[in-house]
Chain A
Amino acid sequence: MSDKLVIKQPEEFAFDAESEKQIEKILSKYPPKRKASAVIPLLYVVQDQMNRQTKSAWVPKVAMQVVAERLEIAPIRVYEIASFYTMFNLKPIGQYHLQVCTTTPCWLRGSDNVVAACMKATGIEKIGQTSNDGLFTLSEVECLGACANAPILQVDHDYYEDMNAASTEALIEALRRGERPKPGSQIGRLNSAPIDHQVSSNKPEAKSSSEGANNVK
């Protein structure tokens, strides 16, 4: 990845007050001598802060240095981790990160349609690209671990489940308007319960209190 050649890295990075609050909480989970273990959560903190500040969730190199100083490890150790995990973006991305799971269960349930809908709604031509308006980046990701509600479209940290082409386009339109639709199942499923609301083996249909339950056909 010769990302270095094309990316303009910011000159400096410092944690803001909100990040500091999160960091304090994260570091309290680890013994002081083992605080290097907090490197992945801290990289998420960096990415979120970048999102807040620049509307692009990515990890610049200078931030890796800041994380390394905070955890008293060598910067290269942070770089190794940040570049190993695809969850960390080492170059600027769009304001909304559309991450479509295309692993087998999602694929069986129609993730190809979701990818196509993302492309159609955003104008992105190839996975990995950012839309011309700079709002969306489309990524293909490995199993998100929510196969029961496949297919999944993850937007930043939120899981939108039971997606299809129509709901994907609607979601993207809503994001474009600046809204954040409620994450979770887009067909009103309760958590990961069966789609027909069968929650026990002796009653075919359970009464549900959830709003969306009435919409299920």
Chain B
Amino acid sequence: MTKLTVDGIQVEVPSGTSVLQACEVAGKEIPRFCYHERLSVAGNCRMCIVEIAGSRKPLVSSCSQPVGEGMVVKTDTEAVRAARRGTMELLLINHPLDCPICDQGGECDLQDQAFAYGRDCSRFSEKKRAVRDKYMGPLIRTVMTRCIQCSRCIRFTNEIAGVPELGGINRGENLEITPFIEQGLSSELSGNLIDVCPVGALTSRPTAFHFRSWELKNSDAIDVMDAVGTNIMIQVRGNEVMRILPRINDDVNEEWLSDKGRFSLDGLKNRRLDRPWVRINGKLTEVSWEEAVNAAATKLKSVSADRIGAIAGDLCDAESMFALKQLMNNLGSSNTDCCQDGAFYDLSQRGLYLFNSTIAGIENADALLIIGSFPRHEAPVLNARIRKRWLSLTQEFPIGMVGPLPSDPNYKVSHLGQDLSVIDQILEGKHDFAEILKSAKKPMIILGHGALTRSDASAIFSKVVQLATKYEVVTPNWNGFNVLHHSASRVAGLDLGFVPQNQGKNIAAMLNNGVEVLWLLDADEFDVKTIPDNCFVIYQGHHGEKAAARADVILPGATYTEKSGTYTNTEGRVQRSYRAIFPPGMAKEDWSIIVAVAKACEHELPFYDLESLRDQMVKNHPVFASIGLQESNLDLQKYTGATSKNIEKQPVMSIISDYFLTNSISRASSTMQECSKLRQTISAEAAE
């Protein structure tokens, strides 16, 4: 620890801290452009200058200066202000000052700081430089003349995103930020460049000129595009979502958000189901809510309970799944399944289907084996955390990967092949990676759905548990056994027991003539052609896709932006999302639809609003009692699912073939469609 004085305030900070951070501890705000707390220190903007008494040069840039014992720092002297004014004047020389037409206006670091340190008029009468704009893909709009060369974007792509595609070419006044080839950035985290850029050089392309930042109202929410549970802020104007930004949560997403989470928002407006429909004489017909609810209820009452089934999709909130499960149980059916992909889970212990290391815990691991998963596509933000650990200099982080490698994973892996028989070899200690796992003190295994959705998943799972037991992946103070989910609703569904109960039918059995009435709650990710022709389909959801077209009754629901809901992420972290706007047209919040149908079925549910529903849910499933990470003990000794079955000899396949189009919202988004098309063209060219 080092003691120093900042503007007369004594602070004590760990040695190695920068003066800028020490000033923040003392509550002093230091202006900055190039310094970003999650990126490496560049020290090139010179805005964070402070005065340090007794130092050889009295004015130093505080971001790159480590603290010293007894340092006396002054952050607001006349000399400091004059230096910052000088820096600001130089920065503004080549800045176009087009704030009135700039999307960053109102939330621009340069604008804000010019307010404090800028001159009232320019003394520069020479020609300003102009820089040609660069193409960075369909997500990022560039106005490179506004760039102040802070190099944050270069450092972000290098360090966080792991795609070293941006750089600064030429020098001096001619310095320009550019990608090597202007074909669009290949990162799934590229939208964060917009947040990272302190000026209006990099702004959002899809929403360019759509709004000004001060027109927007915020509400907190949880991203449902993957199972990371990224904390987001939905910004709306009127009843329209204008922008989605990440919120800072160091345990989950730090301050990053995946491109799908940020830019799918135009999908919230397209192809929406905004009124109820009922199939009359083979043709879907617009009806009133009452008619639709009655049509569903009449059918539900007319068949025997074990011929009714319900499938929950990937975007559902816990409340609606709980309500639907209650309705099914009240009707007497135990055919519920939240695994559209037919994944195998061992539900005997909660820890067997969670990402137990936690996302922040990845930083403590010292070896990693990924089986049947490609985190870059399944959970880009979590992948950034793996990269962060891999980059850290404290200790080597060997990563082994069994499974498909569709692109660069953003860190170096030893690819152990696509054949799962390598698990047997590691188990027998015959493989090189066995040594790595053996010598690791905190090894991690990530088991993905590439493996869990196979027909031999139970055998794979049992082998992986053996692997975890043998290499002491789970110890009293470390849990390295991880299942990586990619569906936002899955863990909550498993926690709620939205699975076949007491010999109930799973999705495969339901689709194999197992049910006569099938309730699809936002379920779009399975082949609807497999639904038998004589099956009566009730589709409750928000987007008109194939499942809705097949339906006999359509009950229009709400997207995640239009309802309050609880989501449990892959770690088992319970998080709450709040409604930002109202559902379009006649669409309603999902839980209320289910309650209405239950009432029409004369199987009334014991709740009448979201609060009482949640009370009931907590009563039945205490894991939802509080928000945050829920303790889940995992004892591999108690695992009883061991089977003697062998792993089949066939390569593991990717579960996500196209990162940008994985659910009904992203498929309805023209931005995501454009990204997908671009990515396919680039990979096709690369393959040639």
Q: Would you call A79 and B132 a contact (CB within 8 A)?
A: no
B155 to chain A, nearest CB (A): 13
Contacting A76 at CB < 8 Å: which of B132, B167, B171, B174?
B167
State whether A74 touches B170 (Cβ < 8 A). no
Complex Cα gap A77–B166 (Å): 9
Min CB–CB distance A213 → chain B (angstroms): 43
Q: Is the CB of A77 within 8 A of B164?
A: yes
Q: How far is the CA of A80 from the CA of B171 in the complex (A)?
A: 9
Instruction: Judge if B590 is at the interface, Cβ distance under 8 Å.
Output: no
Q: Does B97 contact A (CB under 8 A)?
A: no
List residues of chain A with CB within 8 A of the CB of B171. Answer: 83-84
Asked whether, in the complex, the Cβ of A1 is within 8 Å of the Cβ of B170, the reply is: yes
CB pair A76 B165 closer than 8 Å: yes
B-contact bits for A58-91, CB 8 A (1 contact / 0 none):
0001001100000001111101100110000000
**Does B211 have its Cβ within 8 Å of any Cβ on chain A?**
no
On chain B, the residues within 8 Å of A65 by CB distance are 180
Q: For the complex, is A2 an interface residue (Cβ under 8 Å from B)?
A: yes
Does the CB pair A75–B132 fall under 8 Å? no
B168 and A80 form a contact (CB under 8 A): yes
Q: Tell which of B164, B169, B179 touches A83, judged by Cβ atoms closer than 8 Å.
A: B169
Residues of A within 8 A of B168 (CB): 80
Q: List residues of chain A with CB within 8 A of the CB of B181.
A: 75
Look across to chain A and name the residue whose beta carbon is closest to the beta carbon of B165. Answer: A76
A83 proximity list for chain B (CB < 8 A): 169-171
Provide the residues of chain A in CB contact with B132, threshold 8 Å. 2
| B169 CB contacts on chain A under 8 angstroms | 79-80, 83-84
Shortest CB-to-CB span from A88 to chain B, Å, is 12
* Interface contact B170-A77, CB-CB below 8 Å: no
User: What is the CA–CA distance of A2 and B170 in the complex, to the nearest angstrom?
Assistant: 11
B174→A79 contact, CB < 8 A: no
B150-181 with Cβ < 8 A to chain A:
164-171, 174, 178-181
Q: Are A76 and B170 in contact (CB under 8 A)?
A: no
Q: Is the CB of B174 within 8 A of A1?
A: yes
Q: How far is the CA of A1 from the CA of B173 in the complex (A)?
A: 11
* CB nearest to A75 among chain B residues: B180
Residue of A with least CB distance to B163: A74
Closest CB in chain A relative to B130 CB, distance in Å: 10
Q: Which of B165, B169, B174 has the most CB of A within 10 A?
A: B169
A131 CA to B145 CA in the complex, in Å?
Answer: 34
Q: What residues of chain A lie closer than 8 Å to B174, measured between beta carbons?
A: 1
Interface of A is mostly: helix
What separation, in Å, do the CA atoms of A74 and B180 have in the docked complex?
Answer: 9
Residues of A within 8 A of B164 (CB): 73-74, 76-77
Q: Which residues from A are CB-within-8-Å of B178?
A: 76
Residues on B with beta carbons closer than 8 Å to the beta carbon of A80: 167-169
The B173-195 residues at the A interface (CB cut-off 8 A) are 174, 178-181
Cα distance, A61 to B167, chains bound together (Å):
14
Residues of B within 8 A of A64 (CB): 180
Q: With A76-B179, A76-B180, A79-B180 known to touch, is A84 a contact of B167 (CB < 8 Å)?
A: no
Task: Kindly list chain A residues whose C-beta atoms are within 8 Å of the C-beta of B167.
Answer: 74, 76-77, 79-80
Residues of B close to A84: CB separation below 8 A: 169-171
User: Whole-angstrom distance between the alpha carbons of A76 and B178 in the complex?
Assistant: 8
Name B131's closest neighbour in chain A (CB-CB).
A2
> Which residues of chain A from 13 to 70 have a CB within 8 Å of any chain B CB?
61, 64-65
Contacts of B166 in A (CB 8 A): 76
Question: Looking across the interface, which residue of chain B has its beta carbon closest to that of A2?
Answer: B132
- Nearest CB of B to A111, in Å: 23
- Interchain nearest-CB distance for A77 vs B (Å): 7
For residue B163, give the distance in angstroms from its CB to the closest CB of chain A.
Answer: 8
Residue of A76, A80, A83 with most partner-chain B CB within 10 A: A76
Cβ-closest chain B residue relative to A74: B164
Tell me the bound Cα distance from A73 to B180 in angstroms: 12
- Residues of chain B lying within 8 A (CB to CB) of residue A75: 180-181
CA distance A75 to B132 in the complex (A): 20
**B residues within 8 A CB of A76?**
164-167, 178-180
* CB nearest neighbor in A for B167: A76
Which A residue's beta carbon lies closest to that of B179?
A76
A79 vs B169: C-alpha distance when bound (angstroms): 7
A121 to B167, CA, bound (A): 40
Give, as a whole number of angstroms, the nearest-CB distance from B245 to chain A: 28
Report the minimum CB–CB distance from B4 to chain A (whole Å). Answer: 37
Q: With A and B bound together, what is the CA distance between A65 and B178 in angstroms?
A: 15
A160-179 Cβ-contact flags toward B at 8 Å (1 or 0): 00000000000000000000
A61 to B179 Cα, complex, angstroms: 12
List 26 A-B residue pairs with CB atoms under 8 Å apart, sorted by A's residue number: A1-B170, A1-B174, A2-B132, A61-B180, A65-B180, A73-B164, A74-B164, A74-B167, A74-B180, A75-B180, A75-B181, A76-B164, A76-B165, A76-B167, A76-B178, A76-B179, A77-B164, A77-B167, A79-B180, A80-B168, A80-B169, A83-B169, A83-B170, A84-B169, A84-B170, A84-B171
Residues on B close to A: CB < 8 A? 132, 164-171, 174, 178-181
Nearest 5 Cβ contacts at the A-B interface: A76-B167, A74-B164, A83-B169, A76-B180, A75-B180
Add 18 more A-B contacts to A1-B174, A79-B180 (CB < 8 A): A1-B170, A61-B180, A64-B180, A65-B180, A73-B164, A74-B164, A74-B165, A74-B167, A76-B164, A76-B166, A76-B167, A76-B180, A77-B164, A77-B167, A80-B167, A80-B168, A84-B169, A84-B170
